[in-house]
Amino acid sequence: MPSKVSTAQFDGDYDLVPEESPSIAKIQTKLDATTHPKKRENLETLLNLMIEENKVLQIQSGIIRLGTTLQQEFSLQNGKITASVFQGKAVWHEDIGDPGDSSVVTVRLHLQNERLEFSFYDETNEPFEPLVFRKSS
C-alpha cells in the first residue's frame, strides 16, 4: 500500500544491533544463565530466529520493511515528526508474501545519529520493545 508520509530524514537501510535491542538481549541473558540442555537449545533457536527475521530494516518514502524470509511491511498513513522522533499510524502486513491480511498499528521511529529505534503498538496500545538498528554503510 503506497504511503503519502514523508520519511526523508529516516530513509535508508539499517542493520539490527541485537545486543542493544531489549527483547533480544533478554533472551541472550536467559540463555547465558541456563545450563539445562533442552532449554538452551530452545533459547538458542528462538534467539537465532529473532535475529535472522529482524536483521534488516529498510525505510523508503513512508514504507518500512522489516525482515528477511518473512518480510513485514508498515505503510505509514499519517504521523508527526518532532525533532528526531516519528510517531504515527501505519497499515501493517505481517507477511507481504501473503498480502490478504493487515491491521492498523502505531509506529515509532527514534533516530539518533546512525542509531534507530523502531517499535510499534498493536491494537492493545501496548508498545513492543524497540528493536535497535544502525544505518548500513
The band of 1, judged by pLDDT with boundaries at 50, 70 and 90, is low
Q: How far apart are CA 107 and CA 105, in angstroms?
A: 6
| Tens-place pLDDT, residues 74-84 | 999 999 999 89
- Cα 74 to chain centroid, rounded: 10
Asked if residues 29 and 41 have their Cβ atoms less than 8 Å apart, the reply is no
Q: What is the CB neighbour count within 10 angstroms for residue 114?
A: 12
- The CA-based angle 135-53-28, given to 5 degrees, is 90
Residue pointed to by grid coordinates 546512525: 114
- Please determine, for residue 96, whether its predicted confidence score (pLDDT) is greater than 70: yes
Domains defined along the chain, listed by start: 12-135 (2.40.128)
pTM equals: 0.88
Query: What is the DSSP pairing of strand 63-66 with strand 131-135?
Result: unpaired
**Cα(64)–Cα(107) distance, rounded to whole angstroms?**
10
For the cut 90, the answer to whether the pLDDT of residue 111 exceeds it is: yes
